[in-house]
A and B are shown apart, each in its own frame.
Chain A
């Protein structure tokens, strides 16, 4: 097996949940400092791809590499060390509800580094300032709005200075202005820190703002990969229908009839 040269490489990955096949021989490569956006319908397996890269899910078959580490073969201890180089922002932020904003951001530093309290506080303040949340450091997650939570989650994901950041629906459920703020923040922070990012979303505006490359996931496979401007011009009927949001086309074939009959 050849050694991977990319930041992330997925080779012929299959994944299924009980009877449902989610990924069916998916292959994907992500180059360093790239901002890849994976597009696809709800439930198409976008979040599953992120979880597979992170190693919180194991594929039924295939290999997943992060740098030279084969995630699928790593033992628990090694996997935990590798994960320290990957930041993850969850769709619903997944902040620890019993901890304040600053405690949430400080957690990886406290648990995984030997930094002193004053060093940790300094880094936490810096990261919160980067995402514009320095005034909310003593608040609990329940006291924050959706956009604020996303910003804290972003600060937490970046606190260990990861090489790769995975973003699951970063702007879902946010109003268009806050969604743009989050997108700009992602672009600025990833450029500034030279971080590679993989974003799973179905929000088209957000996707075109963030992406340096886009990939379309459909029926368990990547059916189209291109730069945003080329992606827009894609002749693939699935991509064209997804971009236009039309009900006519291969994506809803059969489904629409079934709904209408009901």
Chain B
């Protein structure tokens, strides 16, 4: 009843407070989820036992990694193609089309490769993880695992998290190579740039630092996507409808988090390395 009499500014403040509280609760939830998964996994290792079976890890790496190569490769190829073509015509006006290889290479290795791969994997694999774990949760399978004395975090979450953690950099590299290759085709076809010359220009402009930045970012993206997807899956409530809602929410949260984290990373990075 208090709400009915509240003034609009109070309602806005209430709304903001409510959203902030939910946001902080979710951030805290995912953070402790990651911590507990690590803890449960290391406790198992300390006992001298493997935390999960290798087959489980490889099944997830195959699904998340190998099976994602065509999608990541194709999307990055077309984006590299478009980027080289559109920037090429602009740069040609100033006679600087030789900057295309460096531009595409730096843009993809530092930024677009990891970011695009992150977004694609959040949609493709994150959704699959949430739906799979969510269904297990609804069918009491997760509780049954817990009831047997098996830690569900190290058994179900750790192999998925580790698979995405290690595969994101690999897939980012696939994305980079596909985009650079596509831009080399454009450079050859439209700007008469020979492949060896193109490669020389890429090597001249690309720094090791750019590559390391992209790789480090990818590791973190992989961890975040897997953590958010598994967290959403294991906290599903409300049957089949709940699985659907959580899957949508998982993809949206993972994509937003990846972009948000990328921005934060770039702010910190450019503060320390401005060039």
Q: Which residues of A contact B (CB under 8 A)?
A: 51, 54, 56, 76-77, 80-84, 86, 88, 90, 92, 94-97, 107-108, 110-112, 156, 160
Report chain B residues within 8 Å CB of A107: 145, 148, 150
Least CB distance from B32 to A in Å reads: 13
> Do A111 and B144 have beta carbons less than 8 Å apart?
no
> Do A112 and B149 have beta carbons less than 8 Å apart?
yes
Encode contact with A along B178-207: 1 for CB under 8 Å, 0 otherwise: 000000000000000000000000000000
Q: Return 26 A-B CB contacts under 8 Å, by A number.
A: A56-B147, A76-B40, A76-B151, A80-B149, A81-B149, A82-B149, A83-B149, A84-B149, A86-B147, A88-B144, A90-B140, A90-B143, A92-B139, A92-B140, A94-B139, A96-B144, A97-B135, A97-B136, A97-B139, A107-B148, A107-B150, A108-B149, A110-B53, A111-B150, A111-B155, A160-B148
Report chain B residues within 8 Å CB of A94: 139-141, 143-144
Task: Report B37-76 residues with CB < 8 Å from chain A CB.
Answer: 40, 43, 53
Task: Name the residue of chain B whose CB is nearest to the CB of A88.
Answer: B147
Q: Which residues of B contact A (CB under 8 A)?
A: 40, 43, 53, 135-136, 139-141, 143-151, 155
Report chain A residues within 8 Å CB of B143: 51, 56, 90, 94
> Do B141 and A97 have beta carbons less than 8 Å apart?
yes
Chain A interface main SS type: helix
Q: Supply 8 further A-B pairs (C-beta < 8 A) apart from A80-B149, A111-B150, A112-B150.
A: A56-B147, A82-B149, A83-B147, A96-B141, A97-B139, A107-B145, A108-B149, A156-B148
Report chain A residues within 8 Å CB of B145: 96, 107
* Candidates B141, B146, B150, B151; contact of A56 at CB < 8 Å: B146
- Counting chain A CB atoms within 10 Å of each CB, the highest count among B140, B146, B148, B151 belongs to B148
Chain B interface main SS type: helix
> Do A80 and B151 have beta carbons less than 8 Å apart?
yes
How far is B43's CA from A215's CA once the two chains are assembled, in angstroms? 40
How far is B136's CA from A88's CA once the two chains are assembled, in angstroms? 17
Least CB distance from B230 to A in Å reads: 16
Least CB distance from B138 to A in Å reads: 10
How far is B40's CA from A94's CA once the two chains are assembled, in angstroms? 23
Least CB distance from A197 to B in Å reads: 15
Report chain A residues within 8 Å CB of B144: 88, 90, 94-96
How far is B146's CA from A54's CA once the two chains are assembled, in angstroms? 9
Task: Name the residue of chain B whose CB is nearest to the CB of A108.
Answer: B148
> Do B148 and A111 have beta carbons less than 8 Å apart?
yes
Report chain B residues within 8 Å CB of A110: 53
Least CB distance from B58 to A in Å reads: 15
How far is B149's CA from A54's CA once the two chains are assembled, in angstroms? 10
Least CB distance from B188 to A in Å reads: 48
Report chain A residues within 8 Å CB of B43: 77
Least CB distance from B50 to A in Å reads: 10
Least CB distance from A154 to B in Å reads: 13
How far is B143's CA from A97's CA once the two chains are assembled, in angstroms? 14
Least CB distance from A69 to B in Å reads: 13
How far is B144's CA from A51's CA once the two chains are assembled, in angstroms? 11
Task: Name the residue of chain A whose CB is nearest to the CB of B153.
Answer: A76
How far is B137's CA from A56's CA once the two chains are assembled, in angstroms? 13
Report chain A residues within 8 Å CB of B136: 96-97
How far is B145's CA from A92's CA once the two chains are assembled, in angstroms? 14
* Candidates A80, A92, A95; contact of B150 at CB < 8 Å: A80
Least CB distance from A88 to B in Å reads: 4
Report chain A residues within 8 Å CB of B151: 76, 80
How far is B149's CA from A86's CA once the two chains are assembled, in angstroms? 9
How far is B151's CA from A90's CA once the two chains are assembled, in angstroms? 18
Least CB distance from A136 to B in Å reads: 19
Task: Name the residue of chain B whose CB is nearest to the CB of A84.
Answer: B149
Least CB distance from A74 to B in Å reads: 12
Contacts A77-B43, A90-B144, A94-B144 known; A108 to B139 CB distance under 8 Å?
no
How far is B5's CA from A228's CA once the two chains are assembled, in angstroms? 60
Report chain A residues within 8 Å CB of B155: 111
Report chain B residues within 8 Å CB of A56: 143, 146-147
